[in-house]
Amino acid sequence: MKWVFAYLKPLAGRITLGVTIKIIGTAAELIIPFLLSYILENVIESNNAGRIVYYGILMALCAIVASLGNITANRMAAKTTMLFATAMRKNLFSKTLYLSARSTDSFTIPSLESRITTDTYNVQNFIGMMQRMGIRAPILLLGGSVITLLMDRKLALVMIATLPFIFAVVYGISRMGVPLYTGVQKAVDSMVRVVREDAQGIRVIKALSKVDYENCRYDKANKTLKARETKAGAIMGIVNPVMTLLMNIGIVAVIAVSAYFVSSGKSSATTVIAFMQYFTLISMAMMSLSRMFVMYTKCAASAKRISTVLEEENELKITADDGKGNSKNHISFENVSFSYLGKTDNLTDISFSLKRGETLGIIGATGSGKSTILRLLMRFYDADKGVIRINGRDVRSYTREELTAMFGVVFQNDFLYADTIEENIRFGRDISFEDIVSAAKTAQAHGFITSFPDGFSHNVSTGGTNLSGGQRQRVLISRGIAGKPEILILDDSSSALDYKTDASLRSALSDALPDSTVITVAQRVSSVKNCDLILVVENGRIIGKGKHGELMVNCPEYREISDSQMGGAFLD
């Protein structure tokens, strides 16, 4: 919870003012029962109309001050909470974007989503409640207890005697809340994961008539969440009934003792009336405190989950270059091995080099390690063994900004967002409209884009669902080449294109980016056969390396792939 104060510190002035106003309003509220008791006992008997009106106006003013003070303080608390939550969510979202790929894999995307939404909401609720009730409730509790002690010590002690039992119950149950609500949030992660998967694959689900199956999957996650919420709610729900019981016992005790004192002349009816009002205020304060304890357990569990993300360190440290690289090579892999889980290698002893402007094709079966090579080149992960160099420098010696500025990337499962085609290609970069049009022409996308009535201003739906598969891929390729990158990566990005369009794209790329090194990952030979270097990858190892003609002679696996495709069909 310590990190929360870092976000509250810039708002200290606003919080202090709000707390001051809250204290004034609550103090005015505390005075009202005392004034009522004084009026009943001393003013009314005097039959002085002027005094009665005076104290009546004084009570009304106290009520107005209490009301206005609480309203103003609550509005300020809402504003403060909004500013706090906005900064918290912004930093948490920013942190998730800068997490390393390994850290993202560890947290999982659904868990990060629920931390940004549900967990931040729980912390926000508690911060708001603390400003509204966290000030008022203790003042009512302590102030009411002090005033009643001054009015009648014996009656006050009867009432106060119940408070230790209430605190013991609240504290004991609240300690159980943090692990319970941590389990609830993990169940939320699981449910979010199912929803996310189903939203992304809704078309496949419907096409394969698996709606009922997915309903069952969601129902299972939902029932798990229900069970954990029910358990947490049942245990935490004990607080209010037990508090009410103890408070009622206290009220009965006060009434019984006060009746005895009044009948024996040791106390007055007006004092008992004031006592009951103060006891009501104290009861409300205790109920508010119990609610805050329940909210605290949720907040503590959520704050811990948020802090693990905010405090996550990036293991991809910048290191000094060893100076052993060959500056004539644009890209080189030197005996690179890598494992995602640190057990079995996903890549083993990968070595190759490319000159600037050359093209590399990587081909192999699904899961052979093709995309992993690209992830290491862009330093999503660090290699376990060996060195990867760009322009003769170890990639680990580049800053993140320096490294990413070199690349234009089109991934296999890339995304489009709800905006115009122009903005999807520009992607927030400083790229002129002329360069966007030029990139679209190179990507063979200009024709279909200009066929829309609004051209490049045509709105794309989320995920590009209002475009065909081939159109989506060509917009994405336009995005990748619009920035005229030093290194262009095409990760199975033309699988939805027909052979004629694919061939036209390859030809246009060589003309548009003559000095760029282009790396193409594909599953069909036609997409890589004209590359300067082709890698055939199997089980994380290079089993063939060379040009198309050389591999047809020297690599049986490549020749088998080429023959099986019969001139360019998809590799199954």
Q: Report the C-alpha gap between 505 and 497 in whole angstroms.
A: 10
pLDDT digit string (tens) for 211-266? 888 889 889 989 998 898 888 888 877 777 877 787 778 778 877 887 877 777 77
pLDDT at 88 over 70: yes
Has residue 84 got a pLDDT over 50?
Answer: yes
For residues 321-350, give the mean pLDDT. Answer: 90
Angle at 463 between CA 111 and CA 340, to 5 degrees: 45
Mean pLDDT in residue range 22-29: 90
> What's the CA gap between 544 and 551, in Å, rounded?
7
- Find residue 521's DSSP bridge partners: 362, 491
Q: Which of 28, 19, 2, 121 is nearest to 72 (CA)?
A: 19
pLDDT beyond 80 at 30: yes
Q: What is the pLDDT of residues 157-199, one digit of tens each?
A: 877 787 788 777 777 776 777 788 888 888 888 888 888 778 7
- Give the integer Cα–Cα distance in Å for 233 and 177: 9
If DSSP codes are grouped into helix, strand and coil, which group holds residue 428?
A: coil
pLDDT score of 316:
83
Region of poorest pLDDT, from 84-88, 244-248, 414-418, 478-482: 244-248
Average pLDDT over residues 137-155: 81
pLDDT at 570 over 50: no
Residue 567 has pLDDT above 70, yes or no: no
Torsion of CA 482, 484, 490, 493, to 10 degrees: 20
Distance CA 3, CA 308 (A): 11
Q: In what order do the strands lie in the sheet with 359-364?
A: 407-410, 487-491, 517-522, 359-364, 533-538, 541-546
Please list, in sequence order, all residues whose beta carbon lies within 8 angstroms of the beta carbon of residue 115, skipping any fewer than 6 positions away.
92, 107, 302, 305, 306, 309
User: Could you tell me what percent of the chain has a pLDDT over 70?
Assistant: 97
pLDDT at position 571, please? 40
Query: 78: buried, middle or exposed (CB in 10 Å: 19+, 13-18, 0-12)?
Result: middle
CA atoms within 13 A on the CB side of 376: 30
From 220, 521, 170, select the one nearest 367 (Cα to Cα). Answer: 521
Q: pLDDT of 528-563, one tens digit each?
A: 888 999 999 999 999 999 999 999 999 998 988 888
- Pairing status of strand 347-354 against strand 517-522: unpaired
Q: Note the pLDDT of residue 120.
A: 92
The span from the CA of 138 to the CA of 142, in Å, is 6
Report residue 318 CA to chain centroid gap: 26
How far does Cα 418 stand from its chain's mean position? 20
- Axis-axis angle for helices 433-442, 469-482 (nearest 10): 130
Strand locations in 242-281 (E): none
Indicate left, alpha or beta for 385 from its phi (over 0: left) and psi (-120 to 50: alpha). Answer: beta
Query: Does residue 45 or residue 252 have the better pLDDT?
Result: 252
Q: Over 70: is that where the pLDDT of 498 sits?
A: yes
User: What is the arrangement of strands in the sheet containing 385-390, beginning at the earlier edge strand?
Assistant: 347-354, 331-338, 385-390, 393-394
pLDDT at residue 519, as a whole number: 93
- The pLDDT assigned to 479 comes to 92
CA angle 502, 506, 507 (to 5 degrees): 120
**In the block, residue with structure tokens 């159980």:** 176
Mean residue pLDDT of the chain comes to: 86
Reported as a single tens digit per residue, the pLDDT across 259-303 is: 877 777 777 777 777 777 777 788 778 778 777 877 888 888 889
- Number of Cβ within a 10 Å radius of residue 45: 9
Burial class of 317 by CB neighbour count within 10 A (0 to 12, 13 to 18, 19+): exposed
Contact 464, 419 (CB under 8 A): no
Question: What distances in angstroms separate CA 294 from CA 37, 126, 205, 442, one per listed residue?
Answer: 35, 10, 40, 60
- Tell me, rounded to whole angstroms, the distance of Cα 225 from its chain centroid: 19
Q: Is the pLDDT of residue 434 over 90?
A: yes
Burial of 207 (0-12, 13-18, 19+ CB in 10 A): exposed
Length of the chain (residues): 572
pLDDT tens for each residue of 372-423: 999 999 999 999 999 999 999 999 999 988 998 899 998 876 788 889 999 9
Burial class (CB in 10 A: 0-12, 13-18, 19+), 22: buried
Asked whether 360 and 548 are in contact (CB, 8 A), the reply is no
Pairing of strands 331-338, 347-354: antiparallel
pLDDT at 365 over 70: yes
pLDDT at 265: 73
Q: How confident is the model at residue 209 (pLDDT cuts 50, 70, 90)?
A: confident
Whether the per-residue pLDDT at 569 is higher than 80: the answer is no
Q: Rounded mean pLDDT of 6-33?
A: 90
Structural domains in the chain plus CATH codes = 2-309 (1.20.1560.10), 414-484 (3.40.50.300)
Q: What would the mean pLDDT of 86-114 be, rounded to a whole number?
A: 89
